[in-house]
Amino acid sequence: MRAVLQRVTRASVTVDGEVVGAIDRPGLVALVGVTHDDGPEQVATMARKIAELRILRGERSAVEESAPVLVISQFTLYGETRKGRRPTWHKAASGAAAEPLVDAVATALREKGLEVATGRFGAEMAVDLVGDGPVTLVIDV
């Protein structure tokens, strides 16, 4: 499982002109990608990392600040670009395998007491965010 985690002052996801997920105060955007051998262990580790990494202002975590998280599925995080000019997606899990795991990350974050908004799995999403810092990390578990 891989995530790109970005500290933001606000963020939203729009699908077909409708805002489907938004956070309106400082928090995190987590773009989450799933690969073939991911399961519950990776979900738990990823949720812990997102919730507890001390990347908010004052070296605080989302849990410490009760900061919101916008979780967005992102299969392209497993795009392979080493050869040629066209990425391949063979390392990304299928939608049927990935969707429940991305949902499980969001659920695990909620269980940690965080406010969680989400995108819409498989949709063409427009992501609007205001980066804070900027602080951006790639997390592999």
Question: Could you give the residue numbers annotated as active site?
Answer: 74-76
Task: Give the relative orientation of helices 95-111 and 40-52 as an angle to the nearest 10 degrees.
Answer: 40
- Whether residue 119 contacts residue 98, with contact meaning beta carbons closer than 8 Å, is answered with no
CB–CB of 51/98 below 8 Å?
Answer: no
| Tally of CB atoms within 10 A around 41 | 10
Inter-CA distances, 102 with 9, 45, 65, Å: 23, 13, 23
